[in-house]
Amino acid sequence: MRVKRLANVNNPPEAWLAGIREYVMSTFKCGAHSIHGPSHWQRVDEFVLNIAASSGADLTVVRLFALLHDSCRQDDGADLDHGPRAAEMLDRIVPTVFAIDPGRFDLLKEAIRLHTSGQTTNDPTIGTCWDADRLDIVRVGMTPSEQYMSTEAGKDMAAIAASQV
Which residues have C-beta within 8 Å of that of residue 32, sequence separation ≥ 6? Answer: 25, 38
pTM for this one? 0.90
- pLDDT per position as a tens digit, 58-116: 999 999 999 999 999 988 888 889 999 999 999 988 877 788 889 999 999 999 999 99
Contact 136, 40 (CB under 8 A): yes
Confirm or reject CATH 1.10.3210.10 for domain 14-163, answering yes or no. yes
Beta bridge partners of 5: 99
Is pLDDT larger for residue 64 or for residue 9? Answer: 64
> What is the four-CA torsion angle of 13, 19, 22, 27, rounded to 10 degrees?
-120
Helices (H) and strands (E) in the chain, counts: 7, 0
Is pLDDT larger for residue 150 or for residue 25? Answer: 150
Q: How far is the CA of 76 from the CAs of 17, 39, 83, in angstroms?
A: 24, 14, 13
**Segment 19-35 mean pLDDT:** 87
Contact 126, 110 (CB under 8 A): yes
The pLDDT of residue 165 is above 80: no
Q: Where are the domains of the chain?
A: 14-163
The pLDDT of residue 11 is above 80: no
